[in-house]
Structure 1
Amino acid sequence: MPLIDKIAWLHLHEGRILSTRSRGKDRYYLPGGKREPGETDAQTLLREIREELTVALDPASLQPRGVFTAPAHGHAPEVLVQMTLYAATYTGTLQPAAEIEEVVWLSYRHRPQVSAVDQLIFDWLHERGELVE
């Protein structure tokens, strides 16, 4: 089965989760992206977040939060996305860059507006009491 390997940043603030929407997309996605050949998870995440949100993640603060797999939004039904999730602190000012059109803080009630893999993450965070209604 085809698998899209993605690395994403989990950033929570006051029970809400940082999310992004790319130009022309109808869903919100956790910030991050696909690794380039030879990149580690950390290298991928630091590069993607710098490109998308203009902030620098602190590599020493990276904490793995889980791996989630679901059908890839906008792809054939058999294509899956595997998202490896990391929390980390950052420096700088969050602002959309590159293909990102919108940066938002979502609560659990926004679950229908995110991709399938993000819905799994929303459920997991909500069950743990980390994501508010």
Structure 2
Amino acid sequence: MIDKIAWLHLVGGQVLGARSRGKTVFYLPGGKREPGETDTETLIREIREELTVEIDPASAEPAGTFEAQADGHGSGVVVRTTCYTAEYTGTLTASSEIDEIAWLGYADRDRVSAAGKIIFDHLRETGLLR
């Protein structure tokens, strides 16, 4: 089981996606926790590293937990993605291992990870993703 914390940032019916260097699919920005980190601490650190913005910890709200086959791993390796919404300050900029960030709609579902597809379906069903 891979335990991932992700930032679910929606604007105008689109969600912010990130594509890592050397990868072809997009995912929600975020990553794995370090020992002893809380979800919020992981979210803040990962988003700072990947997108150079500061998450407001007081605004972080759970937005669902989703499980799927982990991309690039052997059969049966599952990624559990716990999503949070949160406000931020700064300018979104691809940094660290991120090659590209993009605003994605439901039509981009085929461009995201397996976990991303489940999240996209949920967002579409709840009317948040167009």
TM-score range, shorter chain: over 0.9
Q: Distance between the aligned counterparts of 2:16 and 2:22, measured in 1? A: 19
Percent identity between matched residues is 60
- State the secondary structure of the residue aligned to 1:38: coil
Q: Distance between the aligned counterparts of 1:130 and 1:66, measured in 2? A: 13
Q: Deviations over 1:4-39 (max 9, x none)?
A: 000000000000000000110010010000000110
Name the Cα RMSD after superposition: 0.4
Alignment of 1:8-87 (within 5 A): 8-87=6-85
Matched residue type, 2:105: S
Structure 1: 5+ residue stretches without partners: none
Q: Distance between the aligned counterparts of 1:73 and 1:108, measured in 2? A: 19
Q: Distance between the aligned counterparts of 1:60 and 1:18, measured in 2? A: 21
- State the secondary structure of the residue aligned to 2:4: strand
Q: Deviations over 1:66-121 (max 9, x none)?
A: 10000000100110000000000000000000000101000001001100111000
Q: Distance between the aligned counterparts of 2:76 and 2:122, measured in 1? A: 23
Structure 2: 5+ residue stretches without partners: none
Alignment coverage as a number of residue pairs: 130
Q: Distance between the aligned counterparts of 2:101 and 2:24, measured in 1? A: 14
Alignment of 1:89-100 (within 5 A): 89-100=87-98
- State the secondary structure of the residue aligned to 1:19: strand
> Which portions of structure 1, spanning 4 or more consecutive aligned residues, are displaced by more than 6 angstroms?
none
- State the secondary structure of the residue aligned to 2:124: helix
